[in-house]
Amino acid sequence: MSHGRRAPPLPETLDPPDAGFMAAAGAYVAAAFVAGSVAVAAAVGASAATLLGSVSSAITIGLVVGGIAAGRVKGLPERLGRSRRRLALAFAPSIVLVVVGLIVLATSLLPGVVALAAGFGAFLTGLSAFVVASMARTRYAKAMVSGEPSTTTTFLKPNRDRYWFGVGLLSLGLGAASWRTGSLGRPFFGLWFFGGYAVLYGIGLRLERADSNGDGLGLPSWLLPADWLDGSENHQWLPELRVHREGLVVKRPVKRRFVPWSGIADVRLTDDELVVERRRGLAIRCDRDVIDDPDALYEGIERARLERAGSD
Task: Output the 3-class SS for 6-69.
Answer: CCCCCCCCCCCCCHHHHHHHHHHHHHHHHHHHHHHHHHHCCCHHHHHHHHHHHHHHHHHHHHHH
Decide if pLDDT at 248 tops 90: yes
Please give the pLDDT value at position 5: 56
Considering the domain architecture, whether residues 139 and 191 belong to the same structural domain is answered as no
Question: Rounded to an integer, what distance in angstroms lies between the CA atom of residue 267 and that of residue 149?
Answer: 18
Q: Is residue 14 situated within a structural domain?
A: no
Question: Can you give the pLDDT at residue 220?
Answer: 47
CATH code of the domain covering residue 296:
2.30.29.30
Whether 304 is in a domain gets the answer yes
* Predicted local distance difference test score (pLDDT) of residue 274: 92
Domain identity same for 108 and 179: no
Say what the pLDDT of residue 307 is: 78
Q: Which residues contact 117 (CB under 8 A, 6 or more apart)?
A: 38, 39, 41, 42
| Mean pLDDT calculated for residue range 17-43 | 91
What is the average pLDDT across 22-34?
Answer: 94
- The number of domains in the chain is 3
**Average per-residue pLDDT in the chain?**
81
Check pLDDT > 80 for residue 215: no
**Phi, psi angles (nearest 5°) of residue 120:** -60, -45
From CA 10, how far away is CA 166, in angstroms rounded?
41
Residues 129 and 188 occupy one common structural domain: no
pLDDT at 255: 85
Query: Ramachandran region of residue 243, left (φ > 0), alpha (ψ -120 to 50) or beta?
Result: beta
Q: Which of 115, 144, 173 is the last residue of a domain?
A: 144
Q: How confident is the model at residue 218 (pLDDT cuts 50, 70, 90)?
A: very low
- Which pLDDT belongs to residue 195? 80
Q: Are residues 100 and 172 in the same domain?
A: no
Q: What is the pLDDT of residues 254-302, one digit of tens each?
A: 789 999 998 888 999 998 889 999 988 888 988 888 788 899 999 999 8
Confidence of residue 175 (pLDDT cuts 50, 70, 90): confident
**Residues 180-203 pLDDT 10s:** 655 455 556 677 787 888 888 777
**Kind and range of the H or E element at 266?**
strand 264-269
One domain, residues 128 and 226: no
Under 8 Å between Cβ of 235 and 227: no
Task: Answer yes or no: do 100 and 46 share one domain.
Answer: yes
Whether residue 10 lies inside any domain: the answer is: no
Shared-domain flag, residues 46 and 23: yes
What pLDDT was estimated at residue 181? Answer: 59
Same domain, 214 and 290: no
The predicted model scores a pTM of 0.73
pLDDT in tens, 113-167: 888 888 889 999 999 999 999 999 999 999 999 888 988 888 877 777 777 778 8
For residues 172 and 131, state if they share a domain. no
Rounded alpha-carbon distances, angstroms, from residue 245 to 47, 136, 252, 276, 286: 59, 21, 20, 16, 20
Give the range of the structural domain holding residue 271, as residue numbers without chain letter. 240-311
pLDDT of residue 61: 93
